[in-house]
Each structure stands twice: as structure tokens, then as C-alpha cells.
Amino acid sequence: MTKWEPLIAVLAAAGNLLVFWLAATRRRRAPGRRPLMLLCLALALWNLGRFIGDDARFGTLSVAAVLPALMLHFVLRFLDREARHRAVLRTLWAISLAFFAVTLGGWGVESLRRFVDAPAWNGCYLLILLPFALWAMWMLFDAHRAEPRPDRRRVIRYVLIAAAFGLGTGVSDLFRFLHADWPEFGSIGSFACMALLCYAILRHHLLEIRVAARRLAVVLVLAALPPLALYWLVDAATAPAVAGVAAATFVALGLSGWAISWWQEQAEQRRRLAEMGEVSALLAHEIRNPLAAIKGAAQYLQGEIESETAREYVELVLREIDRLDAAVGDVQYFVRPVHVDGAPADLGALVERVAAAQRPGLPAGVTLRTQTSPAQVRVDEGLITQVLVNLVRNAVEAVGETGTVTIETRGTVVAVRDTGPGISDEAFERIFQPYFTTKTRGMGLGLALSRKIAEAHGGTLDAENLEAGGAEFRLELPASRE
């Protein structure tokens, strides 16, 4: 092993664990998050196995046995095609786990050891498991070719290239074991795969993961330095010891960072909810009672006044009273737990009803389009309608007097897109926080309440800026099991 091979192997393992950590600590669910976590963890173990060498040969090959299944699982989930290919995925998992068991058994069973050490194992792997991995590559290529949105197409492109590097690495090792004249990429391909995934996360927010480049680089360096220093500076250090230090260092960094972030978010949320509870009680007592008296007096005057101008002013007073009363109600509603009265519903039909109800009030230059398909969900229709109405109204306000708002369903995900200016960097970090608003009117509870309703259903609500312009809000709901 040359002096650079340990560096590449440890950096690749640390990078794979870094992507695993980024996906694991993202509390908002995204399609493909869990399969990506498992895939990166397996690649990290594979790289550490290569670092250890022959002592971990059976462990390295055992991990390789499940890589095609993990790769296909991630691709199907990432492209939202898992439902239609579930039978194929289950078949591949059964085959991969059988390979895994046989390979791992080579540590203690002599007959299995001879099979794994012989070229027959590699030949079976290439003939049985490799076609599934190639099929996953084809699906990524096909999705990239058919995807109309430039931002989404770029993300798919980076995943495709990363998968090509990862697959090429594995195939090169298998052909090497068959004694074929084939170059050995070793951990270089895995390192390139990791680098591309990190770039897709930093530049294009793969799987909705948002992280500062400086933080990502610091964690990667801190994870790689201790094992490399141990390997190069301590003559007695063994490869397993270095691998153990690498894993322990990164796990400690990841868990501490996740715990601190989670604790800070929870503490801040508890503080805000406590403040809002006090404010809502004050509003209910000190504002709603006087508002009721003012409204009653204004309604009485409305029937007594003959002047048309004076009557218009009274109507203005009544509208503003209703607006204030609704704002107080929103605050009280937000601080209370959301009660979900779930029932089976067709998400596509629900979206069409919301769109039909909103179209009559749109400005003349604004178009509201829908792209829906049937999808069964179990939701409280009243609450989800409230969320969709809020998202559509925000999108309409974003485009101004001229523009297009599109509501699209993708399975159990509803995406509301607009052609407005997008969300500023400052607003993006706070857009779902209570009391934050970029509008001249309103208390800034609409999106916070919408996310609370989504989470009460077991779903998520997220946003992103589109490279073509505008913003997209995605409401993801769990599928109905009935």
C-alpha cells in the first residue's frame, strides 16, 4: 500500500460518513434520505475495509454484496418510482442478503471460504447483481433526459455521475479478482462519488439538505486528521486501530453536532411557544372583548347612517375588526395542539377543489394551473385545505399582477410553484418561524401554522428557490394504508 492510499481510503470513508450524517441529522423527510444514509454507511465500511486490507477481506466483500440493492433502493426512492418497482426491489434485496450471508460465512466455514476466494463468487456477482445496478443507472439517465426543470435535472446529473464513479469502482475490483487486465480504482472512485454528492448538497441542496461549505469542510477535516495522524506518526498503529479511530472520531463529531443543534432548536421552540401562550391569553382578554363591543356599535351605526361615504367608512371599520379578530384567532390556534380528524381522501381531487375556489379572486394577469393525479391519503380535509389555500395565496402575492402559479401533485407530494422573485437569503432561514413576515400586513403565522398542520399529519412542508426563478413549496403527506 503506497503512502497515498491510506489518505484516500480514510478521506473517502470520512466523506461517506459525512454525507450519512448530513442526511441523518436532517429532520425534514425527503425522498431517498434513508436509502442514501444506508448507502453511504455501507460505502464507508467498504472503504475502511480496503484500508484494513486482507484481514477485512470477507467484511469488505459482504458489504459489496448489498451495495447494488442499496443503490437501486436509493434511485427508486429519489425518482419516486419505488411503488411501481417494489417487487423487483424486494427480489434484489433477497438475492443481496443471500450473497451477504454466504460471504460473511466465509470467515468461519471452510467451504464458503473457498467459494468466496474463488473467481466463481465474482462471476456470480457480476452476472446476477450487476444488471440491477446498471438498470438503476439507466433510470437516472432516462430521468435526466426527460426532466423539464433545469434545477432538478442538474441534481439528477450529479447523482448519475456519482453513481457511475461508485459503480466503476466496484466493477474494477471485481474484474481484478478475476485476474482480468482491468485498472484498479480502489477508493478513488468512492472518493469521487462522495465529492460529487457533497457538491450536489452544497450547490443544489440534494434531498433538501442545507449546510454551509465551511462547516462541511471543518467536519470532514476533523474526522480524517486523527486516524491519519495515528497511522503516519505512530509506528505501532495497526490498520484496524486507525479504522476504529476514524469511525469513533466522526461518530463523536456527528452526534455532538446533531445533539447541540437539536437541543438549541427545541429550547428555542419551547421559549417561543411559551411566549405565544402568554400573548394569546392577553390578546383574548384585552383585545377580543373590546373588539366585540366596537363591532356591535359599528353594526348599529351602519343601519342608522344615511350618508353613503359614512357607510363606507363603517364597512371599513368592520372589515378591520374582522381582520384583527382573525389574527387573534390564529395566535390562539397556533399555540394549541392541532387535532387531526383524519379520513381517506383523494389528494388530486382536493387540490382541484382548492384551485377552483381560488381562481375567481385572482388578478386578471395571474394564471393558476394544476397538474394533478389521483393519490390516496388520510388527512383532515379542512386542515389541509387551509394549508393549500395559504400556499396558493402566498404564491399569488409573490407573482404580483402578472405571473403563473402551478399546483402539482407527485404521488402524495403537493408542490406549489410561482414565477415571482423567489425567497431572499435572509427570509429563507426564517420563513417558517412564527411572527416572521415579509409583508406589510399580517402576523407571520401562516407558514408556521401550515407546517404545524403538516407535521400533525405526519408529513412535512418545505420550500426552495428555483434556478429558473420563483419559489416552490412542497407539502408531503403520508400515503393512506387503507
- The answer to whether 6 touches 231, Cβ cutoff 8 Å, is yes
- Enumerate helices (H) and strands (E) in the chain, giving the number of each: 17, 7
- Tell me, yes or no, whether 261 lies in a domain: no
Residue 5 confidence (pLDDT) = 66
Residue 140 sits at the vertex; the CA angle it makes with 14 and 35, to the nearest 5 degrees, is: 45
Closest to 31 in 3D by CA, of 82, 69, 72: 82
- The answer to whether 213 touches 220, Cβ cutoff 8 Å, is no
Cα radius of gyration rounded to whole Å, the chain: 28
Same structural domain, 25 and 60: yes
Give the three cell numbers for residue 55.
484481514
- Tell me, yes or no, whether 140 lies in a domain: yes
Give CA separation, 361 vs 334, 356, 364, in Å: 27, 10, 9
Alpha-carbon distance of 65 to 187, in angstroms, equals 17
Instruction: Indicate if the alpha-carbon torsion angle 188, 189, 190, 193 is positive or negative.
Output: positive
Residues 6+ apart with CB under 8 A from 197: 19, 40, 158, 159, 162, 206
- Tell me, yes or no, whether 236 lies in a domain: no
Which CATH number is 468's domain given?
3.30.565.10
Give the three cell numbers for residue 349.
381531487
Residue 193 carries which side chain, given as an amino acid letter?
C
Question: What one-character DSSP code corresponds to residue 238?
Answer: -
Counting the structural domains of the chain, the total is: 3
Same structural domain, 381 and 302: no
Same structural domain, 151 and 292: no
Residue 234 carries which side chain, given as an amino acid letter?
V
Residue 354 confidence (pLDDT) = 92
Give the three cell numbers for residue 186.
480502489
Alpha-carbon distance of 313 to 370, in angstroms, equals 39
SS3 339: coil
Alpha-carbon distance of 60 to 192, in angstroms, equals 19
Same structural domain, 322 and 175: no
Residue 264 confidence (pLDDT) = 60
Same structural domain, 283 and 375: no
Domain residues for the domain of 439 are: 343-476
Report field, pTM of the whole predicted structure over 0.85:
no
Give CA separation, 79 vs 34, 152, 253, 407, in Å: 14, 11, 31, 19
Same structural domain, 318 and 420: no
Pairing of the two strands 413-418 and 402-410: antiparallel
Taking each helix axis from N to C end, the angle separating 119-128 and 57-78, rounded to the nearest 10 degrees, works out to 0
The CB-side HSE value for 137 (13 A sphere, CA atoms) comes to 14
- Tell me, yes or no, whether 328 lies in a domain: yes
Alpha-carbon distance of 386 to 363, in angstroms, equals 21
Which helix (H) or strand (E) segment holds residue 475: the answer is strand 471-476
Alpha-carbon distance of 265 to 293, in angstroms, equals 41
Residue 60 confidence (pLDDT) = 77
Name the domain boundary from 335, 370, 387.
335
The CB-side HSE value for 164 (13 A sphere, CA atoms) comes to 11
* Beta carbons within 10 angstroms of residue 325's beta carbon: 15
Same structural domain, 44 and 71: yes
Same structural domain, 9 and 133: yes
- Tell me, yes or no, whether 262 lies in a domain: no
Taking each helix axis from N to C end, the angle separating 187-204 and 4-24, rounded to the nearest 10 degrees, works out to 40
Alpha-carbon distance of 205 to 187, in angstroms, equals 25
411: left (phi over 0), alpha (psi -120 to 50) or beta: left
Residues 6+ apart with CB under 8 A from 161: 196
Same structural domain, 199 and 285: no
Residue 369 confidence (pLDDT) = 93
- The answer to whether 20 touches 202, Cβ cutoff 8 Å, is no
**Per-residue pLDDT of the chain in tens (482 residues, 90 and over written 9):** 455 666 677 777 777 777 777 776 654 555 667 788 888 888 877 877 777 766 667 777 888 888 889 889 988 988 888 888 989 999 999 999 998 888 888 777 888 888 877 777 777 888 888 889 899 999 999 998 888 888 778 888 888 888 888 787 767 767 665 555 555 666 677 777 777 777 776 665 665 555 555 555 666 666 666 666 656 655 545 555 655 665 566 566 555 555 655 666 666 666 766 666 666 666 666 777 787 788 888 887 877 787 878 878 888 888 888 777 777 776 666 666 777 888 889 999 999 999 999 988 888 899 999 999 988 899 999 899 989 999 999 999 989 889 999 999 988 999 999 998 888 877 777 788 776 777 766 666 778 888 889 988 989 999 888 877 889 999 999 887 66
Closest to 287 in 3D by CA, of 279, 276, 299, 277: 279
Ramachandran angles phi, psi of 417, nearest 5°: -110, 150
Q: What is the DSSP string of 424-467?
A: -HHHHTTTTSTT--SSSSS-S-HHHHHHHHHHHTT-EEEEEE-T
- Which parts of 79-212 fold into alpha helices (H)? 86-104, 110-117, 119-128, 130-146, 150-177, 187-204
Same structural domain, 204 and 278: no
Residues 6+ apart with CB under 8 A from 244: none
- Tell me, yes or no, whether 221 lies in a domain: no
Which CATH number is 86's domain given?
1.20.1070
Residue 182 confidence (pLDDT) = 58
Pairing of the two strands 413-418 and 343-346: unpaired
Alpha-carbon distance of 434 to 439, in angstroms, equals 14
Give the three cell numbers for residue 481.
394504508
Name the domain boundary from 279, 310, 335.
335
Alpha-carbon distance of 331 to 453, in angstroms, equals 14
Give the three cell numbers for residue 72.
437501486
Residue 284 confidence (pLDDT) = 65
Residue 58 confidence (pLDDT) = 76
